[in-house]
Structure 1
Amino acid sequence: MISGEESIKRDEENGELSYHRKFLVFCFVTIDEETFLFAYLCGASIFPKFMDQTEIESNCADSCRRGSIEVICGSMFSGKTEELLRRLRRAGIAKQRVEIFKPSIDTRYDDVEVVSHDRNSIASTPVDNSANILLLASDVDVVGIDEAQFFDEQLPDVVSALADSGVRVVIAGLDMDFMRRPFGPMPHLLSIADSVSKVHAICVDCGHPASYSYRLVEGSEQVMLGELGEYRPLCRKCYQRHTSK
């Protein structure tokens, strides 16, 4: 039986020895189990020549990745995009790889950036359909999706696939249209989400929390991009008062 050092030397000569193998050979061949466990639990740096600490941390991070789906929903002017940007910026500060997507039809403020009503922005990738997100979101830790209500009905399958592969997916969108009907793929996204944050605007009529987007302009189509001149956030009571006229 060859010693641990002989095994390491032989594999080094053959160019076959990785940091991991050096670490394992050293631990399990040349020292006893108690010493290894004590050093591992105490964080003692007794293996500097065998495995770099950054590699240990990197491998631990990869093995601990947990995919998830987070949905931020509410009426217009409730701060959905603002909250999405906040979470994605924090992920960036944590050195995570972030990719943001928005529907290509949303060009209200910018063609290629996600922009909140408060004019805060972050670079994004416009896509025509949700399937493109899977193609473009390779090798990332966090995916952000804004204005999810404008995407096709395949979006829930796309985000489920991302989350199942270990990606954290953060979604923002309107849960209801101007007639208080469920909007696009949002009901399905809400049902499969690991966490849901319902945010509220302020009713412009009475000052109470607002959950509804009241349309001020004529038109019955569900999709109509707009700003404060076309929509106003209202609470339940004020919405009923306006729609009963």
Structure 2
Amino acid sequence: MFIERDVNSHKKVGTIEVIAGSMFSGKTEELIRRLKRAKFARQSVEIFKPTVDVRYSENEVVSHDENSIRSTPVENSANILLLSGNVDVVGIDEAQFFDKGLIEVVAKLANMGTRVIIAGLDMDFKGVPFGPIPGLMAIADYVTKVHAICVRCGSIAQFSHRFSEQEQVVLLGEKEAYEPLCRSCYIKATK
């Protein structure tokens, strides 16, 4: 017996994808790759980043390999909910710099049927879970943990070691301020 279904009665379900790891691990590169695939599939896409991240560009998400995609800088997580409208996919880069309200914003978007893809550092330079990333990983449908290569021994690196003596958690920088290290080299470097 054939059962006829109303195609419109099936509500679209969103998802939460988190791409997390250390600096130089390819988080932003993977975010850009996923967002470009969604655009190629003719899905509507909005990309957000924190206004504090102006290292490469004010209005683009840019990877260390200089791949880029247009984005909207926002002051706080509530603005993402206001500006995302009725889109299929929302991308968020450098999520560790957002407030903890990002967890609720992302959950609301996914519950409304939006695919949300987030990239961010899972730990700060002290090896401590960073900002809203741990909470986002907990509610995510999919978590991708990416790794860099330790610049001292060539092993898999999961730590972002800071050269600077400055203690503030947020310190924008690149290769002049940070290096990816494995656990063993990180322990040696921080003693």
Q: TM-score range by the shorter chain?
A: over 0.9
Alpha-carbon distance, 1:60 to partner: 4.8
Return the structure number with greater helix share. 1
Structure-to-structure mapping, 1:220-239, within 5 angstroms: 220-239=167-186
Q: Secondary structure at the match of 1:92?
A: helix
| 2:100 equivalent among 153, 157, 161 | 153
Within the alignment, does 1:169 sit opposite 2:116 as a pair?
yes
Q: Which has the higher contact order (CA 8 A, sep 6+)?
A: 2
Unaligned runs of 5+ in 2: none
Structure-to-structure mapping, 1:1-40, within 5 angstroms: none
Query: Which residue does the alignment assign to 1:123?
Result: 70
| 1:84 equivalent among 31, 34, 39 | 31
Return the structure number with greater strand share. 2
Within the alignment, does 1:209 sit opposite 2:156 as a pair?
yes
Q: Secondary structure at the match of 1:71?
A: strand
Q: What's the % identity of the aligned pairs? A: 62
Alpha-carbon distance, 1:62 to partner: 8.9
Task: Return the alpha-carbon distance in structure 1 between the equivalents of residues 32 and 14 of structure 2.
Answer: 19
Amino acid in the other structure paired with 1:221: Q
Change (3 A) 1:205 1:62: farther
Task: Return the alpha-carbon distance in structure 2 between the equivalents of residues 88 and 239 of structure 1.
Answer: 33
| 2:128 equivalent among 152, 168, 181 | 181
Alpha-carbon distance, 1:115 to partner: 0.3
Task: Return the alpha-carbon distance in structure 2 between the equivalents of residues 216 and 185 of structure 1.
Answer: 24
Amino acid in the other structure paired with 1:157: E
Query: Which residue does the alignment assign to 1:114?
Result: 61
Query: Which residue does the alignment assign to 1:65?
Result: 12
Query: Which residue does the alignment assign to 1:99?
Result: 46
Unaligned runs of 5+ in 1: 1-33, 41-58
Within the alignment, does 1:241 sit opposite 2:155 as a pair?
no
Alpha-carbon distance, 1:65 to partner: 2.2
Alpha-carbon distance, 1:217 to partner: 1.4
Task: Return the alpha-carbon distance in structure 1 between the equivalents of residues 106 and 94 of structure 2.
Answer: 14
Alpha-carbon distance, 1:61 to partner: 8.3
Which has the larger Rg?
A: 1
What TM-score, normalized to structure 1? 0.75
Alpha-carbon distance, 1:218 to partner: 1.8
Q: Secondary structure at the match of 2:73?
A: strand
Task: Return the alpha-carbon distance in structure 2 between the equivalents of residues 181 and 108 of structure 1.
Answer: 23
Q: Kindly report the root-mean-square deviation, in angstroms, between the aligned alpha carbons of the 2 structures.
A: 1.7
Task: Return the alpha-carbon distance in structure 2 between the equivalents of residues 61 and 243 of structure 1.
Answer: 57
Task: Return the alpha-carbon distance in structure 2 between the equivalents of residues 62 and 214 of structure 1.
Answer: 51
Task: Return the alpha-carbon distance in structure 1 between the equivalents of residues 91 and 56 of structure 2.
Answer: 18
Query: Which residue does the alignment assign to 1:25?
Result: none
Q: Which runs of 4+ in 1 moved over 3 A?
A: 59-64
What TM-score, normalized to structure 2? 0.95
Structure-to-structure mapping, 1:192-203, within 5 angstroms: 192-203=139-150
Task: Return the alpha-carbon distance in structure 2 between the equivalents of residues 63 and 95 of structure 1.
Answer: 21
